[in-house]
Amino acid sequence: MFLSDLRKLFINYFIENNHKYIKSSSIVSKYKDLLFVNSGMSVFKKLFYNNNNLNFVDIVSNQKCLRVNGKYNDINNIGFSDRHNTFFEMLGNFSFGNYFKEKSIYMSFKFLTDKNYLSIDINKIIITVYYEDYDSYNIWKKLGIKKYNIVKVGDKNNIKYNSDNFWNISYFGLCGPCTEIYYDFGDKYDGNFPGYGNVGDRYLEIWNLVFIQYIMNKDRNLLKLKYNSVDTGMGLERIVSVIQNVNSNYEIKLFKDLIDIIKIELYKINFSVTFVKNISNSFFKIISDHIRSSIFIINDGIFPSNKKHGYILRKIIRRSYYNLTSIGIKKPFLYKLINKFLLVLYDNYNDKSLLKTNNNINKNIEDIIFKEENNFISILNNGLLILKKECKTNNNFFSRETINKLYNTYGLPIKLILDFCKSNNINFEY
């Protein structure tokens, strides 16, 4: 089952359960307090406060998301985590004042375990609930989840509602208990049981069901909302990894195809098969993830710049290119991936709400990446001179302020600055 297959199955399942399908909006947020859409619910957040103008109450969606800034920022996880992507697609179902916990949990359980849908073994499913959410706990038990596979998660640091199973939109605002669904890949992998620390490679969170009942004020007191709502989110890449029986987002067919394209382009510039085989997995994760994200961002009308959305795009492209320097590449390379990446992406995101397609758009993305690579190469060539000058000015010590200046003013990657400090025995704080 590929991304397009699972997306279609999910959407149709909820349409059959009387949900209205809402296609993905742009990845660029329409709200001033958010640069990019980072979850399925962020598109609908006003409806959780007031559904008076809504002519339907139950929604299913597949939303393009980007987590590269603010509260949700995964960019530094890329290359090290098997489960994170900067760009991902969030599948979700929502109810604004209609059904609540019981129906929400039942529908998710059926979609995951029924033989007509994903047919996941019930014994592979682990559930976490907020320790005071007795309703959710009992509903899961009634559906047949064993008692030892349902974990009650409490508050951290003795702070009320400071829990992995009590969701908050921010430090105050919309909130409510949530129940998380994990998949167990088996004892050949290491990891703590959900609710008891780092789940490692063994357990994967695949779906989060949030029951929005309150607004938390600045004093951390809960104010009851006019009506209860449901907000759920399931990362498409993650659930596909379960169905394709691989333990990493980067091992699903989509990413295997993208990584193969990178390897083929490396062979074309005379890197040997042996050399490419010895390149770290981190290298391929960063490039495949970042270029996929860059394509989607540019496709939604953003260009590299030094401000807001364009700054984030520039940061992603530059982090990807700097990764190339670790294997000695000193010329533009990323732009060569674009057309072949797009062919793979079109197979997986075959809807204009996800990825707009035509030859002009494709050429535009390629040209933008090429130009950005060239600009960054010039910065890197001047970077060593700038670093040496700063080294003398600051008496072989780089303060946090100096590092931020080098990053923000000159555009030098943090990793380049820290690598320079380490290789030249320069003290630094960061």
C-alpha distances out from residue 95 to 111, 204, 210, 321, 343, Å: 17, 25, 11, 43, 36
Which pLDDT score, from 0 to 100, does residue 42 have? Answer: 86
Among 51, 68, 71, 69, smallest CA distance to 59 is for 51
Supply the pLDDT for residue 55: 75
Q: Tell me, what's the pLDDT at 414?
A: 81
What is the β-pairing status of strands 397-398 and 20-22?
unpaired
Query: What's the number of CA atoms in the CB half-sphere (13 Å) around residue 292?
Result: 31
Q: How many CB atoms lie within 10 A of CB 197?
A: 9
Q: How far apart are CA 238 and CA 85, in angstroms?
A: 10
C-alpha 169/C-alpha 274 separation (Å) is: 48
Rg for the chain, CA atoms, rounded: 23
pTM for the whole structure: 0.92
Backbone angles phi, psi at 116, to 5 degrees: -80, -5
- pLDDT number for residue 396: 78
Please give the structure tokens belonging to residue 188: 């050949």
Partners of 63 in the beta sheet? 90
pLDDT score for 45: 82
Q: Which residues contact 56 (CB under 8 A, 6 or more apart)?
A: 20
Q: What is the DSSP secondary structure assignment for residue 192, as one 8-state letter?
A: P
Residues 6+ apart with CB under 8 A from 54: 47, 96
Rounded distance, CA 295 to CA 319, Å? 15
Contacts 24+ apart (CB under 8 A), 261-266: 261/337, 261/340, 261/341, 261/344, 262/287, 262/288, 262/337, 265/333, 265/336, 265/337
CB 167 within 8 A of CB 176: yes
**SS3 letters for 21-86?**
EECCCCCECCCCCCCECCCCHHHCHHHHHCCCCCCCCEEEEEEEEECEECCEECHHHECCECCCCC
Q: Which of 209, 251, 261 is nearest to 41 (CA)?
A: 209
Q: What is the DSSP string of 104-146?
A: HHHHHHHHHH-TTTT---GGGEEEEEETT-HHHHHHHHHTT--
Q: What is the pLDDT along the chain (430 residues), one digit of tens a residue?
A: 889 999 999 999 999 999 999 999 999 999 888 899 999 998 888 888 877 777 778 999 999 999 987 777 888 889 899 999 999 999 999 999 999 999 999 999 999 999 999 999 999 999 999 999 999 999 999 999 999 999 999 999 988 999 999 999 877 889 999 999 999 999 999 999 999 999 999 999 999 999 999 999 988 899 999 899 999 999 999 999 999 999 999 999 999 999 999 999 999 998 999 999 999 999 999 999 999 999 999 999 999 998 899 999 999 999 999 999 989 999 999 999 999 999 999 999 988 999 998 888 889 999 999 999 999 999 888 877 888 887 878 777 888 888 888 887 777 888 888 888 888 888 887 7
Helix orientation angle between 414-423 and 359-393, rounded to the nearest 10 degrees: 40
Name residue, tokens 């916990």.
Answer: 101
- The rounded distance, in Å, linking the Cα atoms of 83 and 79 is 10
Query: Is 417 within 8 Å of 406 (Cβ atoms)?
Result: yes
